[in-house]
Amino acid sequence: MNRLTIIGNLTRDPELRTTPSGVTVCDFSVAVNNRRGGQNQGDGQNDATFFRVSAWRQLGENCAQYLSKGRKVCVIGPVSARTYQANDGSTRVSLEVTATDVEFLSSRNEMGNDGFNAPAPAAPAAPTAQNNGFTAVEADDLPF
């Protein structure tokens, strides 16, 4: 079974295109952070693994519409490794995922204009004595 699940952030905006046969496909890249532990929890170094993702048909159209650079996603699908020649003549490997499922983990409200996380919203106001049909109760009044 070849099924990969990754959670990471988009490294660029998705690109939607149509094949000559009329099928839509959306291409984007996802960076997955890897932690390498040191002797202490905080000593670990972070690096990233990059995956190229292709989402086809309606899934691809949804990705193109709702995703942008910096958004957090969960991608599930088979993975393949492809080799190519870089400009400097070296051989490199690209990890490519054909998405069968994509979950959007960042809401539009959490994202700033630059595509990265905006500051957290302010804490909600303290509950009033009567709020949506519920009455506020002090912790000391609880029977357990």
Instruction: Catalogue all structural domains in the chain, each as residue range(s) with its CATH number.
Output: 4-141 (2.40.50.140)
pTM above 0.95, yes or no: no
Task: Read off the tokens for 101.
Answer: 């499922």
- Per-residue model confidence as pLDDT tens for the chain (144 residues): 899 999 999 999 999 999 999 999 999 999 999 876 655 555 556 789 999 999 999 999 999 999 999 999 999 999 999 998 989 999 988 899 999 999 999 876 665 444 444 444 444 445 444 455 556 666 666 555
Structure tokens belonging to residue 106: 């960042």
Instruction: List beta partners, residue 81.
Output: 95
Question: How far is residue 75's CA from residue 30's CA, in Å, rounded to a whole number?
Answer: 9
The candidate with the shortest Cα–Cα distance to 106, out of 77, 70, 75, is: 70
Cα 81 to Cα 24, 93, 97, 102, 132, distances in angstroms: 23, 6, 9, 20, 54
